[in-house]
Homo-oligomer: A and B are copies of this chain.
Amino acid sequence: MRRLRAVTTRVEQRRRTETRILTAARQLFGEQGFDRTTIRAIATRAGSDPGLVMRYFGSKEKLFAQAAAIPADGPIEGSPEQIAEQLVAALTEKLADEPAAALAALRAMFTHPEAAEEVRAAMTAQQRQVAAQLSGDDALVRSGVIGALTLGLVISRHLVRLDGLDASPEELMAVAGPLLEKLATG
């Protein structure tokens, strides 16, 4: 303990390396999905080694679970008008910049069962909140269409890079916002 302070301590070095690996994993999972992303590629991009990746994260599955954890959305509640307002705000944010972890989950959800469950859970949670506050016997369908529209826009912009969706979030919401209002208010 009575030593000259090392330039970087050991725990800090460990933390940095883990972060580099996790960042590289998020990027690659988001770009290529789960199956096409190899432990070796992650290690290379992180400037590290496949063996370390395994030692630190246990397995490719566990690494993915950590890298593709979707941050929970805030609660949605209030009158239909307030609901619409909150939906617009949430979607605007998702269009501006969706976190890399969420993009990784979205990319992988179509081929990776656990990623599918992750996204389903997140979407279902929001959907139930919305449906509970809406009136009308088609509330469930409308909340479903809200989810589908949200999913479609986020995917089309960040993953598919569809023509016309590379506009600014404001321009997009000028078009999509009224749709959400219509769906929320009936």
Contact = CB atoms under 8 A, between A and B. Distances in A.
Interface stretch (A13-21, A43-51, A81-89, A156-164): A156-164
Contacts of A182: 178-179, 182
Interface residues of A, number: 49
B116 A163 contact: no
B127 A164 contact: yes
What is the count of identical protomers in the complex? 2
Nearest to A124: B163
A36 B111 contact: yes
A78 interface: no
Interface of A: 32-33, 35-36, 107-111, 116, 119-120, 123-124, 127, 131, 138, 140-145, 147-153, 155-157, 159-160, 162-165, 167, 171-172, 174-176, 178-179, 182-183
